[in-house]
Structure 1
Amino acid sequence: MKMTLGIDIGSTTVKLVVIKEGQVVQTWYERHLSQVRSKTLELIQQAKEQIGGDPFHIAVSGSAGLGVAKAADLPFIQEVFATGEVVKKSVPDTDVVIELGGEDAKIIFFTGGLEERMNGSCAGGTGAFIDQMATLLDVTPGELDELSLRSEKIYTIASRCGVFAKSDIQPLLNQGARKEDIAASIFQAVVDQTITGLAQGRRIEGKVLFLGGPLYYFKGLQRQFVKSLGLTEETAVFPEMGRYAVAIGAALYSQQSGPQLTYDQLVERLQRAATQAPQTRRLTPLFEKEEEYEAFCDRHAKASVPLASLEDYQGDAYLGVDCGSTTTKLVLMAQDGSILYDYYSANKGNPVEIVRRQLETLLPLCQGRITIKASAATGYGEDLIKHAFNIDAGLVETMSHFKAARSFNPKVDFILDIGGQDIKCFKVRNDSIDSIMLNEACSSGCGSFISTFAQSMGYDVEEFAKLGLFSKYPVDLGSRCTVFMNSSVKQAQKEGATVEDISAGISISVVKNAVYKVIRASSAQELGENIVVQGGTFLNDAVLRAFEMELGRPVVRPRIAGLMGAYGAALYARELGLSRSSLITIEQLSQFAHTSKSTVCGLCGNHCNLTVNSFGGGKRYISGNRCERPLGRQQSEPLPNLYRYKLEKIKALVPVEGWRGKIGIPLGLNMLENLPFWFAFFTKLGFEVILSGISTRSMYIKGQFSIPSDTVCYPAKLLHGHIETLLEQGIKNIFYPCMTYNFDEKTGDNHYNCPVVAYYPELLHANVEGLNNVNFIYPHIGIHKRNTFAKKIREELLAFFPELTLRECRQATEAAYEAYEQWMADVKAEGRRAIDIAREMGKKIVVLSGRPYHIDPEINHGIDELISSFGIVVVSEDCVADLVEPAKVQVLNQWTYHARLYNAAKYVCTQPDMQLVQLVSFGCGIDAITTDEVREILESRGKLYTQLKIDEITNLGAVKIRIRSLLEAVNERERNNGV
């Protein structure tokens, strides 16, 4: 073997290796910033001296390499085969390879049968994910790594999607959590994604070879992998060649890939490839001519707010602070509504410091001439900023945006606000909010995607947006989740799309996500006649233009589009009627010092992760709590909460020692509601019923190695941990039946369990190895057939307990049905009692509607307690579903839990003091139907619809905003109606 070249063109980098006489003599590793073909050509030209004039073999690999290989007529080798070549040559005793690239991740199992598993179109858990998280923390990737090595604790962060992770991280930043802990948590999220999303139930064990740039550069990531997989120095291999493994494999493969080339021939082929016209599907340009853009700018420039000179002004003023998900905004407003001072900046991971610096600048300029009579804060960081700087009041951001838009255009009937992480849409009717639509925990279609994508390409967001204004061939990226756009972008790069084309395509796609995923509009007429758009994302002219083109009509964008939250807060401050603000003074500001530390609350079993923020002088603010106890403000008598009531009833089921021994039951999915039935049944048969216990995060981690699907709902994933918990306790008989049908409550067209609930025991049997060593009893049973149940269950149990008699089973069956019926009667009675108490106390009622397993605190993350903390009585859908005739819906109503949900929505519409909040688990395909139906039932009768999507995401910042938005909208309606 003389000389070979290997090129690995990944989603973010190009790697080139030159091998002579079997030895790597030179390597190159550079980011291509989406200029794939030109960067590849540039590296080859840099390698001219090393390549020389002799012929050589060459092969190309990598996720973005196929397009280059085709265009330049070069041999291509798939990445897995390239990696295999390297492993066979360098570390032949490898059992498993884990390779993480820029946007690609893969696991190759060598021992026990060759098998490769690779991520799909989502880039969660890859180098691009780490880059995005570093940007969010305002650090370089290298600094992120250094921070992680000084961590003290790990937060739960969703990793399967970069935008989900932001939904966890941004509130932590706004609450003052340490960057060191967040950095380590980001790396742990990558590990978790690899274990659950890639391994998909197959254990990672033996000698593990770690390849790819992220696993070479990030020592913190290496540490979390070793710790989580229980590896040693001998079994965890991080080779020096890890960055170039695929390129080396391509070079090794190239000897059998075709004829040799010379340097000049290779350069000529790459130059030809770089000039080929793009083939990706194209869209209409945003602007055809410069004059068209100028007219567009002139029209929107007319939507302005008066400005006044801060240096010349004397009199009263009002301060509004909007600490948003990614940016911080300040507005100082004069008495007449004109703006004296404004500020807009990225949070940079430390909003407190940004506000402190701005106040240090602003307050001295006001001294002696301007009296700040009141101040107000809004946004994700509202509570933190309010406590830090003695701000007078806070208001939920939906209301601050509504106030700003209404002051700007009193006739406004539709408001669309696209921020960094949030999309908020308000329909306005009769001078009050008629309906609120917010994006889910996912920030698909928001400004942060444009920002992070721009930075990944080496541009700031303003420069990146301008590039797309006059693109002739905008790339069609669709209207799916923005993370999936990564695959579309990669495909466009392969086919030669320019940065300009990609920029325009992303702006168009963000708009489509807002219109079709959040607003769900079918026509422009649905939005109204007087549309106001706001939020920092609409400062991007490309996004604004794309929105107008999509609607086919002009909209109004205020000059202060990015400041509308802060301006609305200032307007609210003016309404307070204070004589003087309690805002921090210049003297107090000089003594201001912000520190934060993390701790775990031990006052109850929730063990909330708290962040304690101290501001000097004994002032502090505690965040992360699900109740008021850490704050010392616990109510003497908590309000009724059916979620709490049902959970306590489950905890009160104490096992009774039985002469037949122990039988284990995993406490998840439908077993949470059916537990009284099975507990009574097996106790009557003489078994000691052992429960796996209430779910915890640590329980989930125990079982994550056997989860075969990353897209199934979190409640189902938790079952793996419940099974492992029972196995750890040495339980030899575990019972978890398959149940196609639920109890027939006569409220729908049928009474099925959803497929996941019905048949998950079969999946557990196939994937949890420990179940092979015990009696795992998972028969198909129909509890809806009371007359034949005893005979059927005995037939199923005889194989494990041959002494069981039919008489025993009949007696146990009667006890089981009686226990279940009494349980459901108790729950309904408690629900009616809670409603009566609420009305006696004049409290509002929220029907928190979901599935029976949503009472599990690891699944609902304390949402019920959060709602209760607002002075609201919480009941569940099963308490009120039987109080109305079965609801008529537009779909086949065949699921028991959904029929309850529809009936609860119908009942809420008849009660003026009730609102319904729907809990939905990510990964629940059936709820794609239920959400539309419930929304239709509620909104057709004048009620507001609020949906909360829950998953591994544990931070309740976004949930709190949604609940407060609902309450404020209800209050606004009542005020306008004279209630």
Structure 2
Amino acid sequence: MPFPTLRTWFEKKPSVEPPRKDRSHLRVGIAKVLNVWSTHQFWVGFLKELGISSENIVFSSDTSEEQGREFGKGRGTVDCCYPVKCISGHYGELVFGQKRNINILLSPMIHSLPSILHGHVVDTVTCTRVMAGPESIKAGFLKESDIFAENKILYASPFVSLGDRHMVTQQLFTSLKNIFDLDMEETARAVKAGFDALDNFTAKARQQSRDILTWCAENGKPCILVLARPYHMDPGIGHEIEGELQAHGYPILWLQYLPGDDDLVNWLFEEDVKTGRIKSPFDISDVWTSSYSSNTNEIMWGAKFATRCPWITCVVRLSSYECGMDQPTYTPAQKIVEATGTLYFKFGDLDSTKPGGGIKIRVETIVHYLSKYSAEIIQRKLNCLSPDCPLVGARRSDPAVST
């Protein structure tokens, strides 16, 4: 057992925690772009723990052409990634478009992401272009003069590895200590609060996805899975294609919030694990060996989940214009999904142009195929799985499926 030394005997310990610093006057703007779409709750929890009230945490609005024209014109930088280009409009809106000015513009460079596949893949890093996007776009606000300084705004772009939790406290302390006047202890508390908020939100979202699948199983209804990157949830990036489909009565699941409960994934991947094809239900080495990129890994796993899950009868793939990270996955993901006859539709090369007529025609096509083939797809998949489905009321001998 350890013996107390003089230092531990006589070291003075405070009887109460030191008073927290007053940051209630600070107003923080966060660009709602890229991987902030899947990590926003971390930043909200982090800032609130530092004493910044909810009303002083300001997210930019959804991406739109109007936003880009009004706030980003003349401040763009050379980048072939459309979602990265859009950041300039978000920065401009936070700087010039607020009734109450912000004091800090927070736009993190997220190097790695929390993932349901963590520990089952090589790594969970982000696209390098997306990670460095904030710094690239910042240049457009510094090329003639320092727009941030002129508007009395501190620009903060911390490099952070949210997929490697043990590193985050040191990273954010180093990057933000002078911005928020931080010490290490309060940084650690804020990081814990951030991860707690993110984990709670993610758990609720995954439970809602499971509830949707349970409802589909009980009622013999199909649903649609969206295979996309987090920022395609932005109406200006993904063009609300999933909303058009949902308007026809089909529940929508997003890849990022698929349920990962042991009973469900073990049921879906039982045969593959038993035969040794994969080591666990979250193993993607059978279809994707270069498993470094978090979002790419999850797209491939989502394709595997969809092709096995009976009530996911259609997969919609969204991808931005000439996305170099997505292009190698197009064919493998499609082959995986279609292996069980699951419907697959891809909307590729999405950019600022929203061809309303073209999207409407494709949505009508998808709805037609869903109504025609969903019952057959559901029954075919059920026949390949154990009858002991963990979703309530779902059995291989279910009555006819309605669409």
Bucket of the pairwise TM-score, normalised by the shorter protein? 0.7 to 0.9
Quick one: which of 871, 885, 894 aligns to 2:292? 894
CA contact (8 A) 2:225 2:315 kept: yes
SS of the residue aligned with 1:709? coil
SS of the residue aligned with 1:889? coil
SS of the residue aligned with 1:711? coil
Q: 1:931 to 1:881 in 2, by over 3 A?
A: farther
- 1:680-704 per-residue CA deviation (whole Å, 9 max, x = no partner) reads 1011112232222233332121213
SS of the residue aligned with 1:945? strand
Q: 1:868 to 1:806 in 2, by over 3 A?
A: same
Counterpart of 1:143 in structure 2 is none
Question: After superposition, where does 1:698-713 map in structure 2 within 5 Å?
Answer: 698-701=66-69, 702-709=71-78, 711-713=80-82
Q: 1:863 to 1:691 in 2, by over 3 A?
A: same
What is the distance in 2 between the residues matched to 1:974 and 1:675? 35
Q: 1:976 to 1:868 in 2, by over 3 A?
A: closer
Question: After superposition, where does 1:203-352 map in structure 2 within 5 Å?
Answer: none
- 1:654-707 per-residue CA deviation (whole Å, 9 max, x = no partner) reads xxx952511211111111211100111011112232222233332121213222
Aligned AA (1:725): E
CA contact (8 A) 2:228 2:255 kept: yes
SS of the residue aligned with 1:748? coil
What is the distance in 2 between the residues matched to 1:935 and 1:813? 38
Q: CA deviation at 1:751?
A: 0.6
What is the distance in 2 between the residues matched to 1:878 and 1:692? 22
**Which structure exhibits the higher relative contact order, with contacts defined as CA atoms closer than 8 Å and separated by 6 or more residues?**
2
- 1:696 corresponds to 2:53: no
Question: After superposition, where does 1:498-647 map in structure 2 within 5 Å?
Answer: none
Quick one: which of 302, 305, 311 aligns to 1:907? 305
What is the distance in 2 between the residues matched to 1:731 and 1:877? 34
- 1:674 corresponds to 2:39: yes
CA contact (8 A) 2:41 2:194 kept: yes
CA contact (8 A) 1:881 1:904 kept: no
- 1:834-875 per-residue CA deviation (whole Å, 9 max, x = no partner) reads 222333444320001211111111222221221012221111
CA contact (8 A) 1:660 1:686 kept: no
Q: CA deviation at 1:965?
A: 2.9
Quick one: which of 79, 87, 94 aligns to 1:719? 87
What is the distance in 2 between the residues matched to 1:779 and 1:880? 29
Counterpart of 2:187 in structure 1 is 809
Q: 1:806 to 1:695 in 2, by over 3 A?
A: same
Aligned AA (2:132): Y
Q: CA deviation at 1:973?
A: 4.6
What is the distance in 2 between the residues matched to 1:925 and 1:952? 18
Q: 1:801 to 1:940 in 2, by over 3 A?
A: same
Counterpart of 2:355 in structure 1 is 955
Question: After superposition, where does 1:485-500 map in structure 2 within 5 Å?
Answer: none
What is the distance in 2 between the residues matched to 1:842 and 1:704? 50
Quick one: which of 821, 829, 853 aligns to 2:231? 853
What is the distance in 2 between the residues matched to 1:801 and 1:658? 8
SS of the residue aligned with 1:886? coil
Counterpart of 1:104 in structure 2 is none
SS of the residue aligned with 1:901? helix
Q: Which moved more, 1:908-917 or 1:751-760?
A: 908-917
CA contact (8 A) 2:303 2:333 kept: yes
Q: 1:710 to 1:797 in 2, by over 3 A?
A: closer
- 1:778 corresponds to 2:157: yes
What is the distance in 2 between the residues matched to 1:681 and 1:974? 44
Quick one: which of 88, 102, 117 aligns to 1:731? 102
Aligned AA (2:282): E
Q: CA deviation at 1:966?
A: 3.5
Q: What residue ranges of structure 1 are gaps of 5+ in the alignment? A: 1-656
Q: 1:962 to 1:684 in 2, by over 3 A?
A: same
Q: 1:976 to 1:788 in 2, by over 3 A?
A: closer
Aligned AA (1:695): T
What is the distance in 2 between the residues matched to 1:974 and 1:844? 6
Q: 1:772 to 1:917 in 2, by over 3 A?
A: same
What is the distance in 2 between the residues matched to 1:974 and 1:865? 19
Q: CA deviation at 1:710?
A: 6.0
CA contact (8 A) 1:843 1:871 kept: no
SS of the residue aligned with 2:112? coil
- 1:933 corresponds to 2:332: yes
Aligned AA (1:674): T
Counterpart of 2:196 in structure 1 is 818
CA contact (8 A) 1:665 1:689 kept: yes
- 1:378-425 per-residue CA deviation (whole Å, 9 max, x = no partner) reads xxxxxxxxxxxxxxxxxxxxxxxxxxxxxxxxxxxxxxxxxxxxxxxx
SS of the residue aligned with 2:332? helix
SS of the residue aligned with 2:161? coil
- 1:230-270 per-residue CA deviation (whole Å, 9 max, x = no partner) reads xxxxxxxxxxxxxxxxxxxxxxxxxxxxxxxxxxxxxxxxx
- 1:906-939 per-residue CA deviation (whole Å, 9 max, x = no partner) reads 1111123311111111131111112122112112
CA contact (8 A) 1:845 1:873 kept: yes
Which is greater in Rg? 1
Q: What residue ranges of structure 2 are gaps of 5+ in the alignment? A: 1-21, 266-280, 380-399
Q: 1:756 to 1:772 in 2, by over 3 A?
A: farther
In the TM superposition, structure 1's runs of 4+ consecutive aligned residues that sit over 6 Å from their partners are: 974-979
- 1:796 corresponds to 2:193: no
Counterpart of 2:137 in structure 1 is 764
So what's the TM-score if we normalise by structure 1? Answer: 0.31
Q: 1:870 to 1:972 in 2, by over 3 A?
A: same
So what's the TM-score if we normalise by structure 2? Answer: 0.73
Counterpart of 1:635 in structure 2 is none
Q: 1:700 to 1:843 in 2, by over 3 A?
A: farther
Q: 1:748 to 1:959 in 2, by over 3 A?
A: farther
What is the distance in 1 between the residues matched to 2:337 and 2:90? 37
SS of the residue aligned with 1:752? coil
Counterpart of 1:922 in structure 2 is 321
What is the distance in 2 between the residues matched to 1:922 and 1:676? 28
CA contact (8 A) 1:848 1:874 kept: yes
The share of aligned pairs that are identical, in percent, is: 22
- 1:348-403 per-residue CA deviation (whole Å, 9 max, x = no partner) reads xxxxxxxxxxxxxxxxxxxxxxxxxxxxxxxxxxxxxxxxxxxxxxxxxxxxxxxx
CA contact (8 A) 1:832 1:879 kept: no
Quick one: which of 214, 223, 228 aligns to 1:836? 214
What is the distance in 2 between the residues matched to 1:710 and 1:739? 18
Aligned AA (1:918): R
